[in-house]
């Protein structure tokens, strides 16, 4: 296997709005991130992925960009961004940015000129004169239709997400020219790569009606098509002189699609975020849940480990509920958080840690929609209301699944504001801040945080955890066991103590007081045999 710096990287995702507030306005910012670089470095990570910090009306918390060349005032200024890149480099940390180029904000200059019919922006987006009615039957990622009537242009525009996020038209070559300029701008600032948002839906083959299906009608017209592959080749060519990497958020991809997107000889993406392992507890869409099965979960991960040359490994991010609340144990919170960390950092691929995951942050105990900020959650709640779903049922769906579960402020300490802010936080702070916070775990050698540091250090010392071959040995209801090179990883993902008939040389265990010949509940270990 070819060695690459991004294969050896450990990525820490920061959701800037919720990470660290330097000025007391209740919103995290770039100076706040700079102030925490020593902490980030102490984890042993060497890449930071920044969720969007661009200028935006924040209808979708930054994923609706109004100016790709500016920093949102909530986060600071462009003059303040440059010191972040420089300071991070001094700590041996690279910065990658979120690249959101399927759509812009409706407040972007390009859209404002397009809606007025000003050249060359007139067809930077998809417009239709079909009104009343819509040109096709497509449905969007946030639920509902995908066409919005614009009074100024007297036409409708396509939006696969929210109405204020119009889709760019890559049939117009000028769109790519402008996107290419944006990439070079950030690369020249020292950014070392991009997480590419919904990158496999960029190119729409046509606007024909979609096939009849319950969700995402029309997706066959845009999911992972030849036109998108061509755009990705252009992105790769632009990044090549800068030794930067790309990771694509790729919706509804299977392994065959992922191979095409990531084969080195094709020169498209370096790696992709797959979703199949995150879908094992859902029925068709994430809002409808079924009982989580560890055996099913590991089976999906195993398939991707065996059949894809290089993976991304993640268990949570800004779009997913907290992993310990989803896959772990309430009774064994700390133990299960450590086990999940072991899984994250020992599978084949580049691991992505989401802020707070390393201290075991949990879902928020939301009590009403008034506490929810997420536009997706609000849209889905409205759709469920129209379908006459009982109030208790629809609220339970939102509470467990809302993206805001991951977006609550980072818990630095147990005092007012959780060390995140001296002001009123933009989103509620979890009530368990007193038990789960960085300050408390820093002083505990047996904490989740201490274990994450030990795990990361162990990974760096053992090349087998990066480049070693992978083999699944055991996968049942209680225990998972797999091999990475000469190392064996054993996970007891149950509340039961499990007897072991065979035990090798224990190199690292999540249990401080482990019991020879047994696996304690939610114990994770690495051994040599």
Cβ neighbors of 298 (< 8 A, separation 6 or more) are: 472, 475, 480
CA 69 to chain centre: 23
Q: What is the DSSP letter of 422?
A: S
Q: In what order do the strands lie in the sheet with 505-509?
A: 470-475, 479-484, 487-492, 524-528, 505-509
C-alpha to C-alpha distance for 113 and 127, rounded to whole angstroms: 13
3-class SS at 475? strand
CB half-sphere exposure, 326, CA atoms < 13 A: 28
Q: Check if 511 is active-site.
A: no
Annotated catalytic residue within 59, 98, 150, 249: 249
3-class secondary structure per residue, 20-42: CCCCCCCCCCHHHHHHCHHHHHH
What count of other Cβ atoms lies within 10 Å of the Cβ of residue 21? 26
Torsion angles phi and psi, residue 136, rounded to 5: -155, 180
3-class secondary-structure state, position 311? coil
Element holding 480 (H helix, E strand): strand 479-484
The answer to whether residues 524 and 338 touch, using CB atoms and an 8 Å cutoff, is: yes
> Would you say 14 and 355 are in contact if contact means Cβ atoms under 8 Å apart?
yes
Rounded distance between C-alpha atoms, residue 260 and residue 477, angstroms: 34
Catalytic annotation, pick one of 29, 59, 98, 197? 197
Task: Identify the CA nearest to 85 among candidates 38, 34, 160.
Answer: 34
Is 205 noted as a catalytic residue in this protein? no
Catalytic residues: 197, 249
């Amino acid at each position: 296997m070819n060695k690459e710096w991004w294969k050896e990287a450990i990525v820490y995702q920061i959701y800037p709005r919720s990470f660290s507030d330097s000025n007391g306005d209740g919103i995290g910012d770039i100076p706040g991130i700079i102030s925490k670089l020593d902490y980030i470095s102490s984890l042993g990570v060497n890449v930071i992925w920044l969720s969007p910090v661009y200028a935006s009306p924040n209808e979708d918390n930054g994923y609706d960009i109004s100016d790709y060349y500016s920093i949102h005032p909530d986060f600071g200024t462009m003059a303040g961004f440059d010191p972040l890149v420089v300071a991070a480099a001094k700590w041996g940390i690279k910065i990658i940015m979120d690249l959101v180029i399927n759509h812009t904000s409706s407040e972007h200059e390009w859209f404002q000129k397009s809606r007025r019919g000003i050249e060359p922006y007139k067809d930077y987006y998809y417009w239709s004169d079909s009104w009343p009615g819509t040109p096709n039957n497509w449905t969007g990622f946030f639920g509902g239709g995908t066409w919005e009537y614009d009074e100024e242009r007297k036409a409708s525009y396509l939006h696969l997400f929210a109405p204020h996020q119009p889709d760019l038209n890559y049939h117009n070559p000028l769109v790519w020219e402008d996107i290419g300029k944006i990439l070079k701008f950030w690369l020249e600032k020292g950014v070392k790569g991009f997480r590419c948002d919904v990158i496999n839906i960029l190119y729409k083959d046509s606007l024909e009606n979609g096939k009849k299906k319950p969700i995402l009608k029309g997706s066959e017209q845009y999911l992972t098509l030849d036109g998108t592959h061509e755009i990705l080749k252009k992105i790769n060519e632009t990044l090549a002189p800068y030794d930067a990497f790309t990771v694509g958020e790729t919706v509804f991809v299977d392994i065959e699609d992922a191979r095409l997107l990531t084969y080195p000889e094709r020169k498209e993406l370096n790696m992709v975020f797959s979703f199949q392992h995150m879908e094992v507890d859902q029925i068709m869409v994430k809002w409808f849940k079924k009982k989580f099965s560890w055996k099913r979960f590991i089976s999906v991960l195993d398939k991707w480990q065996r059949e894809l040359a290089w993976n991304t490994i993640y268990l949570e991010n800004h779009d997913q509920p907290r992993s310990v609340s989803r896959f772990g144990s309430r009774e064994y919170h700390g133990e299960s958080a450590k086990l999940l960390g072991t899984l994250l950092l020992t599978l084949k691929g580049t691991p992505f840690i989401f802020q707070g995951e390393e201290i075991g942050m949990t879902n928020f105990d939301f009590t009403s929609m008034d506490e929810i900020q997420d536009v997706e959650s609000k849209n889905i709640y409205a759709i469920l209301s129209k379908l006459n779903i009982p109030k208790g049922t629809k609220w339970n769906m939102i509470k467990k699944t809302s993206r805001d579960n991951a977006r609550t402020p980072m818990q630095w300490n147990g005092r007012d504001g959780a060390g995140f802010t001296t002001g009123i936080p933009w989103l509620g702070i979890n009530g368990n801040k007193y038990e789960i916070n960085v300050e408390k775990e820093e002083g505990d050698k047996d904490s989740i945080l201490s274990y994450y540091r030990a795990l990361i250090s162990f990974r760096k010392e053992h090349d087998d955890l990066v480049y070693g071959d992978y083999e699944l040995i055991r996968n049942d209801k209680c225990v998972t066991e797999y091999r990475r090179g000469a190392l064996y990883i054993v996970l007891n993902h149950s509340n039961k103590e499990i007897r072991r008939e065979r035990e090798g040389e224990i190199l690292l265990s999540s249990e401080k007081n482990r019991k020879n010949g047994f696996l304690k509940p939610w114990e994770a270990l690495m051994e040599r045999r």
